[in-house]
Amino acid sequence: MKRLLYVLFAIIAIVVVSLILWPTKTNAVMGDKTLVAYFSATGNTRGVAEKLSNAIGADLFEIVPEQLYSADDLNWQNDASRSSVEMKDAASRPVVASKIEDMSQYKIVFVGFPIWWGREPSIIDTFMESYDFAGKTVIPFATSGSSDIGNTYENLKKLAPNANVLPGKRFASDVSVEDLKSWADTEIAK
Condensed to tens digits (0 to 9), the pLDDT of residues 10-45 reads 444 443 333 333 333 333 343 489 999 999 998 999
pTM metric for this prediction: 0.79
114, 40 Cβ separation under 8 angstroms: yes
Model pLDDT, residue 7: 41
The CATH architecture assigned to 24-188 reads 3-Layer(aba) Sandwich (3.40)
Distance CA 135, CA 157 (A): 13
pLDDT of residue 49: 98
Cα separation, 60 vs 49, whole angstroms: 8
Give the pLDDT of residue 44. Answer: 94
Q: Residue 149 has what pLDDT?
A: 86
Q: Which residues of the chain have pLDDT under 70?
A: 1-31
| pLDDT at 4 (0 to 100) | 46
* pLDDT value of residue 16: 38
